[in-house]
Structure 1
Amino acid sequence: MREIDPDLSVVVPMYDEEEVLPIFFERMRPLLDGLGVSYEVLVVDDGSRDATASMLLAAAVDWPELRLVRLLRNSGHQAALSAGFRRARGNHLVTIDADLQDPPEVIAELLAAVRTSEVDVVYGVRSDRSSDSWGKRTTARMYYRLMCRLVGKDIPFDAGDFRLVSRRVVDAVNALPEDGRVFRLVIPWLGFPSTEVKYVRAERAAGTTKYNLSKMFRLAFDSVTAFSAAPLRLATWLGLLGGVLSALFVVGALVVKLAGNSVPGWTSTVLAVSVIGAIQLLCLGLLGEYVARLFQSSQKRPQFLVGYDSLEDQGHKALEEETVSS
Structure 2
Amino acid sequence: MPQHLSVVVPLFDEDEVLPLLVRRLRAVLDRLDLTYEVVAVDDGSADQTPVLLQRYRREWSQLRVLRLRANAGHQAAISAGLAAARGDWVVTLDADLQDPPEVIEQMVHEARSQEVDVVYGVRSDRSSDSWFKRSSARAFYATLRAAGARDVPDDAGDYRLMSRATVDAVGALPEAHRVLRLVVPSLGFPSATVTYRREPRAAGRSKYPLSRMVRLSLDAFTGFSLAPLRLATWFGLGGFVGALLLLAYALVSKWLGFTVAGWTSTVVVVAGMGALQLLCLGVLGEYVGRIYATLQGRPTYYVAYDSAGDDSALEGEHIPRERPHQ
Calculate the TM-score normalised by the size of structure 1: 0.93
| 2:207 aligned counterpart, secondary structure | coil
Task: Quote the sequence identity (%).
Answer: 56
Alignment partner, residue 119 of structure 1: 116
Indicate yes or no: 2:265 matched with 1:268.
yes
Alpha carbons of structure 1 residues 314 and 297: separation in structure 2 relative to 1, 3 Å: closer
Deviation at 1:233, TM superposition (A): 0.6
Structure 1 equivalent of residue 133 of structure 2: 136
Distance 1:273 1:77, change over 3 A: same
Shift of 1:179: 1.1
SS at match of 1:104: coil
Paired residue secondary structure (1:294): helix
Q: Does the alignment pair 1:73 with 2:70?
A: yes
What residue is the counterpart of 1:223 in the other structure?
220
Within 1, Cα distance between the matches of 2:222 and 2:131?
26
1:100-129 Cα offsets, whole Å, 9 max, x none, are 011000100001111111111111111111
Q: What is residue 320 of structure 1 aligned with on the other side?
A: none
Distance 1:313 1:298 in 2: 29
Q: Is residue 25 from structure 1 mapped to residue 22 from structure 2 by the alignment?
A: yes
How do residues 1-326 of structure 1 correspond to structure 2 at under 5 angstroms? 4-312=1-309
Q: In the superposition, relative to structure 1, how do residues 182 and 58 fare at CA in structure 2: closer, same or farther (>3 Å)?
A: same
- Aligned counterparts of 1:215 and 1:113: Cα–Cα separation in 2: 32
- 1:110 alignment partner AA: M
Q: Which amino acid aligns with 1:166?
A: S
CA shift for structure 1 position 262 = 2.3
User: Post-superposition shift, 1:263?
Assistant: 3.0
**Offset, 1:313:** 7.7
Residue identity matched to 2:113: T
**5+ residue gaps in structure 1?**
316-326
C-alpha distance in 1, partners of 2:307/2:272?
A: 57
Partner of 1:321: none
Q: Indicate the structure with greater helix content.
A: 1
C-alpha distance in 1 between matches for 2:276 and 2:145: 26
CA deviation after TM superposition for structure 1 residue 261, in Å: 3.1
Q: Give the C-alpha shift of residue 202 in structure 1.
A: 0.8
The code of the aligned residue for 1:27 comes to R
Q: Which runs of 5+ in 2 are unaligned?
A: 313-326
| Aligned counterparts of 1:100 and 1:298: Cα–Cα separation in 2 | 37
Query: 2:196 corresponds to which letter in structure 1?
Result: Y
Read off the aligned partner of 1:133 and give its amino acid letter: S
Query: Given the two structures, how large is their TM-score scaled by the length of structure 2?
Result: 0.93
Secondary structure in 2 matching 1:195: strand
- How far does residue 178 in structure 1 lie from its aligned partner after superposition? 1.4
Deviations 1:60-83 (A, max 9, x none): 011111111111111111101100
Deviating more after overlay: 104-113 vs 306-315: 306-315
- In the aligned structure 1, how far is the partner of 2:133 from the partner of 2:276? 30
Shift of residue 314, structure 1, vs aligned partner: 11
Q: Match of 1:64, SS?
A: coil
| Large movers: runs of 4+ above 3 Å | none
Aligned equivalents of 1:222, 1:180: Cα separation in 2: 7
Tell me the CA shift for residue 186 of structure 1: 0.7
Structure 1 pair 97–60 and aligned structure 2 pair: CA distance change class (3 A): same
Q: CA RMSD in A?
A: 1.5
